[in-house]
Structure 1
Amino acid sequence: MSIKPEKTTIFFTGATGYVGGSVLQRILQHPEANTFDITALVRDAGKALLLETKFGVRAVIGSMEEFDKLSQLAENAHIVVQCAEADRDDVMNAILGGLKKRHEKTGDLPILIHTSGAGIIADNARGEYMSDFVLSDLDSEAIEQFTPPAVHRSVDILVCKADAEGYARTYIVLPTAIFGFGKGPLYDAGISKRSPALISVFAAAAVERGRPGIIGAGKNAWSVIHVADNADLTYLLFCAALTGNSELGHGREGYYLTENGEVTMYEYFKELGMALVERGLVMEAEPTMFTPDEYVKYFGGDAIADLFLSNIRGRGDRGRRDLGWTPKHPREDIWKEVPEVVGGVAKKAKGSA
């Protein structure tokens, strides 16, 4: 008589998002996925129903602001995969509170895989130069030199502290600028957001202002990663953590940056401009600087604009070395999504005409 394997309890946040959807898809494709008991927190009742009926994922209706619910769901899980919120201490404290209770009550050492971001290494280039500084995710001491108010940093510190205190085993994924359209069953079902929001915003802004905009001189560079390659790294990390691999870096040694090449802001916006000209949506491909008023109009304020003036250059050495991660989409693939994005903008422009 065969013994039915015990279910691995997993709590997932961000299932309906652009990044989270790609990660959840990969986990659902795990060869032992039938032994997973996955619970996802979602806002939309319709998407919750689809998750349950089509994908066998238990869906709880709620938001990241319901801290008691977050804490309870985390307490009930051996593994928490967090892909929804990188900047709120209160959200992370709720999750960690649940994991701590689990550890104290059961003796289990729960696992947290947290999606943060490489924005922590943003500098003050103001778009005027490409920095020589390129951060390797193997350099834990260098990472720890970044302190709040560096983007995402306060949450990352909480995650690492939990690992140091011994009640959770934690890992932090640091995506660089993510591109590419989400593909696969969760996107096809309308559950997860398919389109990369960043380039869509810039394309729509360019159409409205008659030519692409640029923040600063555009000499600064960003490392980039395709959404599917980022999901692959997170999945490999999930698989290694699931097996209890004691050699896998965690806590302060558990930063996993995802990148595969880089682009300057100027070439990014110029390529977008050329695609828009081909469609007849703008007359000029050469980008001009956004005004301060446009910063607020299109990006919500100076804090966001400042990020686009920064260099964010990193190397994902740890995932390549320790997980055998091999990203498949080079930086040149970023231009492949431009026609589709522009096509979507063209349809909207035609519909509002």
Structure 2
Amino acid sequence: MASTSKRTIFFTGATGYVGGTVLTRLIDHPTFANSEITLLIRPSKKDKISALHSLGLNTVLGSYNDLDILEEQASKADIVFSVADADNLAATGQQPLLIHTWKGVLVDDAKGLYPTDVIYDDLNPDQIDALAITQLAQEYKENYVKAYIILPPTIYALAKTRFVGLGLQNPRSLQIPQLIRAGLLKGQGGMVGKGENVWPNVHIDDIADLYIIVYENALSGKAGHGREGFYFGENGEHKLYDLSKVVAQELYNVGRGKSPEPAPFTEEDYKRPENFGLEFLGTNARCLARRARALGWKPKYTTEDAFKSIKPEVEYAIQSGNY
């Protein structure tokens, strides 16, 4: 651990959808006054640096593939927030606290044709151990670092933080905007296969709260780590069909869809470069966030809120032209 008067934090993903929302909460947190936060900023985002410095944040220029920079910064930090690419942060050789994001580990290959009865429980470490893991995850389990792994599902709603207002943060998620973009390009709301697959969901504000709950409990030593440090972030679940139906209805309402009923995407849709990864929306991933709730996480938003978030997303996509 670094031995300085202030707690040192190295943070990746600061200008992203989730990262920017979490970082906003860190700035507002009571521990910020006694913290020194350094952000990894990609060269393409270097125009944001002066604004970040004005908020009392430090920056280092580099990418997630610059292992020498990552290792140097992580080795100097008491805490590392990895809220970006889930497989790129190298181990430090010491034992700092690592709050890491890991996506897509529960998915199957349903192609939207069926749901699944398999529900992963973050209070069941034996079940978590059965998941395919990377070498990095094995190092976490062997306690090279005290690792706290947060596994978000479908995150929804436009982010509304000071970072968004300052032009420092991407305000949009991935899955729902991708579904909307594919529908706009097709001229009709669509779905993968029959849309029978199931995913959990969580509001952007609720998942950001989870990072802070884990952070606070990690500092006090109350949060499980390593084998017992996996935290799902769900507060409800949906069938892809139900999500796709709302998208199709909203596109129909604004004259950008032929029918309020979603139509299966075609091979032509999947081959469009703009729709890269669209088939991923047809996977299943079900989980229970019991460990997170046991720490005191109290998410407020439900699946109904996920459906309500679609209309503003459609309006944003059309008005900005950013499909």
Structure 1 length as normaliser, TM-score? 0.85
Q: How does 1:20-39 map to 2 (within 5 A)?
A: 20-39=19-38
1:195 matched residue in structure 2: 172
User: Distance between the aligned counterparts of 1:338 and 1:232, measured in 2?
Assistant: 22
Deviations along 1:58-103, one digit per CA (max 9) or x if unpaired, are 01121112111111011110100001111x3xx223xx1xx21xx3
Q: Which has the higher helix share?
A: 1
RMSD: 1.9
Matched, 1:74 2:74: yes
Matched, 1:226 2:211: no
Q: Is contact 1:276–1:342 with CA below 8 Å preserved after alignment?
A: yes
Which one has the largest radius of gyration?
1
Pick aligned residue for 1:127 from 88, 112, 115: 112
User: Distance between the aligned counterparts of 2:189 and 2:83, measured in 1?
Assistant: 31
Q: Is contact 1:223–1:314 with CA below 8 Å preserved after alignment?
A: yes
User: Distance between the aligned counterparts of 1:290 and 1:45, measured in 2?
Assistant: 38
2:8 matched residue in structure 1: 9
2:85 matched residue in structure 1: 85
Matched, 1:211 2:210: no
Q: Is contact 1:127–1:215 with CA below 8 Å preserved after alignment?
A: yes
User: Distance between the aligned counterparts of 1:197 and 1:169, measured in 2?
Assistant: 29
Shift in Å, 1:124? 2.9
Q: How does 1:1-353 map to 2 (within 5 A)?
A: 6-43=5-42, 44-53=45-54, 55-86=55-86, 88=87, 91-93=88-90, 96=91, 99-100=92-93, 103=94, 109-117=95-103, 119-147=104-132, 153-154=133-134, 157-164=135-142, 166-243=143-220, 245=221, 247-297=222-272, 301=276, 304-321=277-294, 323-348=295-320
User: Distance between the aligned counterparts of 1:344 and 1:278, measured in 2?
Assistant: 15
Q: Is contact 2:148–2:225 with CA below 8 Å preserved after alignment?
A: yes
Q: Is contact 2:250–2:314 with CA below 8 Å preserved after alignment?
A: yes
User: Distance between the aligned counterparts of 1:121 and 1:299, measured in 2?
Assistant: 25
One-letter identity of the residue aligned with 1:272: V
Q: Is contact 1:48–1:60 with CA below 8 Å preserved after alignment?
A: no
Shift in Å, 1:160? 4.4
- How many residues align? The count is 318
User: Distance between the aligned counterparts of 2:140 and 2:183, measured in 1?
Assistant: 44
Q: Which sections of structure 1, spanning at least 5 residues, go unmatched?
A: 104-108, 148-152
Q: Is contact 1:210–1:284 with CA below 8 Å preserved after alignment?
A: no
Deviations along 1:171-221, one digit per CA (max 9) or x if unpaired, are 100001111111121111111111223322322321222211211110111
Q: Which sections of structure 2, spanning at least 5 residues, go unmatched?
A: none
Structure 2 vs 1, CA of residues 270 and 21 (structure 1 numbering), >3 Å: closer, same or farther?
same
Q: Is contact 2:64–2:89 with CA below 8 Å preserved after alignment?
A: no
User: Distance between the aligned counterparts of 2:193 and 2:273, measured in 1?
Assistant: 15
